[in-house]
């Protein structure tokens, strides 16, 4: 095994996760040390131990139950993967951050994140996979979270299964900051508050979501940034949970549906000039913050309002404040 050159290892595996065993972990099992030090999941360990160089101590292949001594060096290597089922497609990407482990993209409205039935091309995944191939990287597309097709803003994409696992756990723990800007009909009352209302599918129209007592717990915090004669408002939102269409459903629930929302917006009382200015639902994921799983650094990114929402805001300011 030691005969394999470092270049060959880099070709087959991602950069290894490395832990040097300290005195307090002397005599413990490999999996115990990795779970405590790196939060590596049992599922990931089950995958890496199947490959020759996946799990080693001092560059010797071991099982997860092997015991270690102070000073030993544990390496976890994940096989390189790529999304062979996603067609590479050149696309103008707004990449706001990228390193070996993580990518943050500012997604425009009108783009689906991942290929689905009816959307095999033209998705963010198609463009990202093309970008990686152009760079000579073999990476599998792993979005940590998603945005609706007509929502713009920041999306985090993990470049390894470990980073995806770690960021998914941050999402579940509520330590990922996701702030949105929305433009809504009417003005929320009170101006700042929390919508705590369970959400589930509409049984009559399964593609829609509704507030229902039997739904899944859903919490959205909001703050009115600016009111436009109480006819409309700019609102900042923070999600505590991440249900499908959560912001759109919750704002409709409090009588402030999003401008331009074809599914949940007003049917008869929509203002044509506002709808035309937005051209889509007026929702933008403007701030994303998380802890980088490899460096431990807290990072935050901000995406400016896209032109169509700037145009909408100017239109709303025209009615007075």
Residues 6+ apart with CB under 8 A from 232: 183, 184, 185, 186, 187, 259, 274, 316, 319
Strand partners, 260: none
Cα 180 to Cα 13, 286, 295, 316: the distances in Å are: 37, 5, 26, 18
**Distance of alpha carbon 171 from alpha carbon 241, whole angstroms:** 9
**Distance of alpha carbon 68 from alpha carbon 62, whole angstroms:** 10
* Residue 270: both structure tokens together: 């929509």
Q: Which residue has the tokens 């960021």?
A: 167
Strand partners, 209: 201
Q: SS3 breakdown of the chain: % helix, strand, coil, rounded to 5?
A: 25, 30, 45
Known catalytic residue: 200? Answer: no
**Distance of alpha carbon 165 from alpha carbon 160, whole angstroms:** 9
**Distance of alpha carbon 75 from alpha carbon 30, whole angstroms:** 10
Quickly count: other Cβ atoms within 10 Å of residue 205's Cβ. Answer: 10
Determine whether 164 is exposed, middle or buried from the number of CB atoms within 10 Å of its CB (0-12, 13-18, 19+).
buried
Active-site residue, selected from the candidate residues 25, 72, 101, 148: 148
**Distance of alpha carbon 53 from alpha carbon 34, whole angstroms:** 16
**Distance of alpha carbon 196 from alpha carbon 200, whole angstroms:** 13
Report the catalytic residues: 148
């Amino acid at each position: 095994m030691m005969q394999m050159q470092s270049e060959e290892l880099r070709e087959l595996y991602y950069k290894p996760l490395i832990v040097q065993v300290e005195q307090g972990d002397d005599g413990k099992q490999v999996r115990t040390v990795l779970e405590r030090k790196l939060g590596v999941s049992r599922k990931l360990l089950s995958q890496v131990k199947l490959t020759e160089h996946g799990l080693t101590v001092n560059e010797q292949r071991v099982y997860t139950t092997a015991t270690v001594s102070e000073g030993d060096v544990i390496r976890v290597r994940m096989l390189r993967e790529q999304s062979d089922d996603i067609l590479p497609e050149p696309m103008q990407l707004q990449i706001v951050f990228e390193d070996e482990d993580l990518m943050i993209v500012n997604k425009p409205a009108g783009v689906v994140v991942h290929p689905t039935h009816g959307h095999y091309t033209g998705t963010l995944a198609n463009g990202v996979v093309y970008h990686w191939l152009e760079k000579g990287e073999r990476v599998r597309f792993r979005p940590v979270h998603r945005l609706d097709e007509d929502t713009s803003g920041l999306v985090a994409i993990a470049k390894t299964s470990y980073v995806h696992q770690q960021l998914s756990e941050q999402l579940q723990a509520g330590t990922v900051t996701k702030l949105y800007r929305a433009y809504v009909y009417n003005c929320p009352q009170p101006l700042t508050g929390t919508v705590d209302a369970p959400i589930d599918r509409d049984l009559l129209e399964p593609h829609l979501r509704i507030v229902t007592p039997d739904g899944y717990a859903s919490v959205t915090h909001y703050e009115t940034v600016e009111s436009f004669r109480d006819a409309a408002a700019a609102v900042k939102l923070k999600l505590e949970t991440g249900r499908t269409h959560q912001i759109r459903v919750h704002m409709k629930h409090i009588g402030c549906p999003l401008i331009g929302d074809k599914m949940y917006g007003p049917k008869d009382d929509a203002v044509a000039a506002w709808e035309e200015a937005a051209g889509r639902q007026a929702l933008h994921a403007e701030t994303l913050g998380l802890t980088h799983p490899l460096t431990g650094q807290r990072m935050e990114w901000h995406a400016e309002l896209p032109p169509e929402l700037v145009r909408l805001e100017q239109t709303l300011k025209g009615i007075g404040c």
